[in-house]
């Protein structure tokens, strides 16, 4: 790789004197680290265009965790090579992995697992890669190319619309990169009969293969997917497409951002004409109060949204972006009704609410979030 122009970092679990000697003889500039793969972090090692993960997986007690760590270190391509059961690759096969307590595999005590090919490919997808492509077998060695981005460009069919999004565990819009967390998104689309191979969610620059795609009735759908490994602290856009559609609207989610940092986004900017006239509970109509819990919603009446469509507007709740599920017609006073669903896990307390349209954000108003 170095001879082909790459800047290379090499990592192994133990110190390898032969590698050090070879580097000296060849005048190599390869950076050499000794570390456990399960301890690797982008903050310590960096992020790479290509990662070669060769002959390592079956030596690990925690192979899926290791794949997640490797995924977090990559921008797109990871080449995985591992010992595997020589059963070929059948996409319909049941993923199976043998466990070796002592030296059953090759007489070596540090050989822990032996996946079949279906299991190896499935583990790569489960680790957070958008795509895992089986390349072939050489004796009992399987080769898989893993990619963090989707293949091909967006189509021209009507775009889906994301109506709601939440952390599947906490039921709010806050996520942690250090945890194994999953995103649940509800969207509408004219497409029917969707499968996990036909929905393409993306967070920031990275795709993540769905674990669940289910009809929610009428034209509504739910998709659940893993938060891509390696996201830096901050706000990341989430969007999706289906089959040959264009990309959906974008919703920002917070990764490792605390409440005070989220509130930094409540400062008004852009068009000074955009303002919230009234805010109330979307079901009880109580002013300046929203009862949070199952099916919670907020209703706003805003001025300055003339010419905007639902896709152009979002409600911002303490820095969280919440998609609009209903937007009324502009009345004689230039007022527009805007409704948004609130994830049930949002914390109670006083929150700042804005309306955002394009690059314009209204001044905040305060509402009390009360547990129903």
- The rounded distance, in Å, linking the Cα atoms of 205 and 228 is 9
- The rounded distance, in Å, linking the Cα atoms of 217 and 194 is 13
Read off the pLDDT of residues 296-327 as tens digits, 9 standing for 90 and up. Answer: 999 999 999 888 888 889 999 988 889 999 99
> Hey, what CATH class is 35-147 in?
alpha beta
* Helix then strand then coil, % of the chain, to nearest 5: 15, 45, 45
Topology agreement, domain 35-147 and domain 161-257: no
CATH number of this structure's domain 161-257, picked from the four choices 2.60.40.10, 2.102.10.10, 2.160.20.70, 3.40.605.10: 2.60.40.10
pLDDT at residue number 74 = 97
pLDDT at residue number 265 = 59
| DSSP per residue, 204-235 | TTEE--EEEEEEEETTEEEEEEEPPTTPPSEE
Q: Is 230 within 8 Å of 127 (Cβ atoms)?
A: no
pLDDT at residue number 14 = 92
- The conformation of residue 352, written as its DSSP 8-state character, comes to E
Using alpha carbons, list the distances in angstroms from residue 12 to 15, 22, 141, 312. Answer: 7, 15, 20, 49
Half-sphere exposure of 167 (CA within 13 A, CB side): 19
Q: Is 362 within 8 Å of 304 (Cβ atoms)?
A: yes
- The rounded distance, in Å, linking the Cα atoms of 203 and 196 is 17
Locate the domains of the chain by residue range.
Answer: 35-147, 161-257, 260-371
CATH number of this structure's domain 260-371, picked from the four choices 2.40.10.10, 3.30.365.10, 3.30.70.20, 2.60.40.10: 2.60.40.10
In this prediction the pTM is 0.90
Q: Is 33 within 8 Å of 11 (Cβ atoms)?
A: yes
Number of H helices, E strands in the chain: 5, 26
| DSSP per residue, 48-116 | EEEEEEES-GGG-S-HHHHHHHHHHTEEEEEEEEEE-BS----TTSPP-EEE-SSSTTTT-TT--EEEB
340: burial class by Cβ within 10 Å (0-12, 13-18, 19+)? buried
- Residue stretches of the chain with pLDDT short of 50: none
pLDDT at residue number 67 = 97
pLDDT at residue number 332 = 81
């Amino acid at each position: 790789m170095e001879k082909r122009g790459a800047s290379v970092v090499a990592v192994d679990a133990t110190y390898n004197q032969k590698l050090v000697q070879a580097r000296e003889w060849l005048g190599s500039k390869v950076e050499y680290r000794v570390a456990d793969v399960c301890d690797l972090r982008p903050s310590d090692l960096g992020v790479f265009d290509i990662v070669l993960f060769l002959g390592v997986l079956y030596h690990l007690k925690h192979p899926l965790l290791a794949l997640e760590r490797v995924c977090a270190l990559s921008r797109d391509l990871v080449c995985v090579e591992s010992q595997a059961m020589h059963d070929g690759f059948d996409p319909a096969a049941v993923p199976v992995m043998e466990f070796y307590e002592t030296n059953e595999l090759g007489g070596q005590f540090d050989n822990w697992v032996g996946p079949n090919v279906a299991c190896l490919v499935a583990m790569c997808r489960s680790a957070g890669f958008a795509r895992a492509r089986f390349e072939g077998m050489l004796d009992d060695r399987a080769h898989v190319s893993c990619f963090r981005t989707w293949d091909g460009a967006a189509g021209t069919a009507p775009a889906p619309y994301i109506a709601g999004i939440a952390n599947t565990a906490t039921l709010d819009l806050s996520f942690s990169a250090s945890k194994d967390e999953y995103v649940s998104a509800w969207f509408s689309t004219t497409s029917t009969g969707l499968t996990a191979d036909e929905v393409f969610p993306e967070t920031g620059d990275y795709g993540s293969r769905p674990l669940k795609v289910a009809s929610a009735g009428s034209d509504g759908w739910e998709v659940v997917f893993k938060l891509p490994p390696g996201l830096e602290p901050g706000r990341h856009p989430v969007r999706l497409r289906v089959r040959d559609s264009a990309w959906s609207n974008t919703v920002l989610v917070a990764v490792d951002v605390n409440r005070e940092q989220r509130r930094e986004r409540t400062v008004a900017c852009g068009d000074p004409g955009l303002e919230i006239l009234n805010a109330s509970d979307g079901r009880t109509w109580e002013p300046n109060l929203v009862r949070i819990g199952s099916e919670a919603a907020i209703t706003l009446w805003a001025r300055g949204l003339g010419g905007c469509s639902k896709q152009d507007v979002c409600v911002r709740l303490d820095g969280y972006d919440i998609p609009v599920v209903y937007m009324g017609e502009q009345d004689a006073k230039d007022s527009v009704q805007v409704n948004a669903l609130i994830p049930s896990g949002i914390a109670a307390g006083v929150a700042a609410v804005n309306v955002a349209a394009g690059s314009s954000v209204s001044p905040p108003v305060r509402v009390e979030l009360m547990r129903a």
